[in-house]
Structure 1
């Protein structure tokens, strides 16, 4: 029962199964190479955390409250499937090897023998789900995503998550404007102690217009992500030029700008939405929100 609940919680927060499948492969990589192998995963985490934060630019003038679940499907571009490794002198990287999302790992022959790289998980899309609650007052909305520390049952590893978003209506200062306009700041952090720590930050401006029960919305967002990773380099290729040991590395994701366009339908207290974002990785996002 405990393991089943833990699996549900982890999947609810993010598709960390991806990480679990490849964690034991990090030991193949030196610090300079792990950056390129794992960067696409850090970008995916950033794309997920910075998605699903709005489905309308309208903010309650007095008081509002909502609870919802946001699902994402993140598409991995071809450029994130392979990378060119940093090989010692005397080796030639004529072919690329797999990133965390790629397929076959490559092998290279040179003066020190073969250097072998592991395969990836051979995936071109990753799902994720995030729960969130929001409260608004006088044109300002605060959104929270939270999970207290949960033991993963392996040593001292614990998983925790915290996210906050602050949104403010701009259209309330512009009389007779035909659309709702708002700006929003987002901060999200997910940590597995002693293993990984991901921080995602974003700022966006978005607008919406309602047509009866239907609302059309879109926005432009600047975002960034940082993926801190700790692992043991095992030197499986037995290279004399490098030594096994603990590696701590901070990896910046490729997240930068994204554009979003979507629509939502309001049925009593239930809002259903779907949108598509173009950025470092594309995201199809949908949500179920109960608004009061």
Structure 2
């Protein structure tokens, strides 16, 4: 039950559910497996990073003395059509060729694949065909708007001395026997309203700087198709954002907007030892064997300017808000907050 709760909380389901399919890429060797993994999962990684940088605010106002809020945020980062597929270029790989099907391969956030790849090896003075494997189908059609979902829970506390809010996201590294997840995020939203001498108006202005780190370990040993030990997938994501925010408070309803910049990095590693036997598909004989150690390590980066516009409904201490962010992966954010000024 805890595992399912954590998966729903951070929405790693799209990635983890394909871990066994991705593991078959190891037949192509570490270099080719890393490259193929990178191409296949890139849109999920980028959408996840953009989502983590959203949802830090729903107003430019900061809390008064002893004020605080508890906020739950959900995001949908829309994958651009150009990232739903990638072109398989044989010259980019050492041990993989296209056996049949289209060279336009659907990514994890795309649709169904009809491509079959062939892994080969040079051993004993000859070239041997080891296996034909299909690229796993994408799951884009199974997700709302073909978008990568993320979610966070955060707390904001007013610091009246500096007229700012301290914002925290925290999830201790907990989980089940095969999944551990941890999250830490911190942000400072500094009010500029008094400095700009507009504190007597319904307009508020503030600046935000924030950082989120999410780590997870997923044990794939039990579902692995290869003998070995310590087999797991590790994810480490670091996301940063800096933004200028403005809002207009009309009591029951509030409008807000922001401009800023994001940068983020995700590291994905397949670790452990993997005992591979290379068997020629024509003769059925084993032509070579190899032990791979920590075979895949890829990193993804996302950065760029962003602009947000949104609205919030204020019902005493209960708030409902939604906004839209224009960035490389345009993102819809919605949430609820219990806020006490």
TM-score w.r.t. structure 1 length? 0.86
The answer as to 2:6 corresponding to 1:9 is: yes
- Kindly indicate whether the alpha-carbon contact (under 8 Å) linking 2:33 and 2:296 is maintained by their aligned counterparts in 1: no
Secondary structure at the counterpart of residue 194 of structure 2: helix
Unaligned stretches of 5+ residues in structure 1 = none
2:212 corresponds, among 182, 185, 188, to 188
CA drift at 1:112: 6.8
SS in 2 for 1:256: strand
Equivalence for 1:175: 197
Instruction: Report the secondary structure of 1:150's partner residue.
Output: strand
User: Structure 2: how far apart are the matches of 1:9 and 1:91?
Assistant: 38
Change (3 A) 1:86 1:251: farther
2: CA distance, partners of 1:115 / 1:23: 15
Structure 1 residues 212 and 18: CA distance shift in structure 2, 3 A: same
Instruction: State which of 149, 166, 172 in structure 1 corresponds to 2:188.
Output: 166
Instruction: Map Cα deviations across residues 25-69 of structure 1 (whole Å, 9 max, x no partner).
Output: 222162223222222111121122111111110113534211111
1:57 maps to 2:89? no
Change in CA separation of 1:219 and 1:125 when aligned onto 2, cut-off 3 Å: same
Match of 2:322 in 1: 274
Secondary structure of the 1:100 match is: coil
Is contact 2:209–2:243 with CA below 8 Å preserved after alignment? yes
Structure 2: 5+ residue runs without aligned partners? 26-31, 121-126, 218-232, 281-286
Cα deviation for residue 197 of structure 1 reads: 1.2
Query: Contact 1:69/1:132 (CA < 8 Å) preserved in 2?
Result: yes
Task: Tell me the TM-score normalised to structure 2 length.
Answer: 0.74
How far apart are the structure 1 equivalents of 2:304 and 2:198? 33
Match of 1:202 in 2: 241
- In structure 2, the CA distance between the partners of 1:252 and 1:52, relative to structure 1 (3 Å rule), is same
In 2, Cα distance between equivalents of 1:100 and 1:244? 28
Q: Residues 26, 235 of structure 1: CA spacing in aligned structure 2 closer, same or farther, 3 A cutoff?
A: farther
Residue 35, structure 1, aligned to residue 74, structure 2: no
Tell me, in whole angstroms, the C-alpha distance in 1 between the residues paired with 2:266 and 2:277. Answer: 24
Return the offset for 1:206.
1.1
SS of 1:45's equivalent?
A: helix
Residues 95-174 of structure 1: pairs in structure 2 closer than 5 A: 95-105=103-113, 106-108=115-117, 116-123=134-141, 124-138=146-160, 139-154=163-178, 157-174=179-196
Deviation (angstroms), 1:127? 3.1
Structure 1 residues 238, 68: closer, same or farther in 2, change over 3 A? farther
Which structure carries more strand by proportion? 2
For residue 40 of structure 1, give the secondary structure of its aligned residue in structure 2: helix
Larger Rg belongs to = 2
RMSD: 3.0
Q: Counterparts of 1:144 and 1:168 in 2: how far apart (Å)?
A: 14
Q: Is the Cα–Cα contact under 8 Å of residues 59 and 140 in structure 1 kept in the other structure?
A: yes
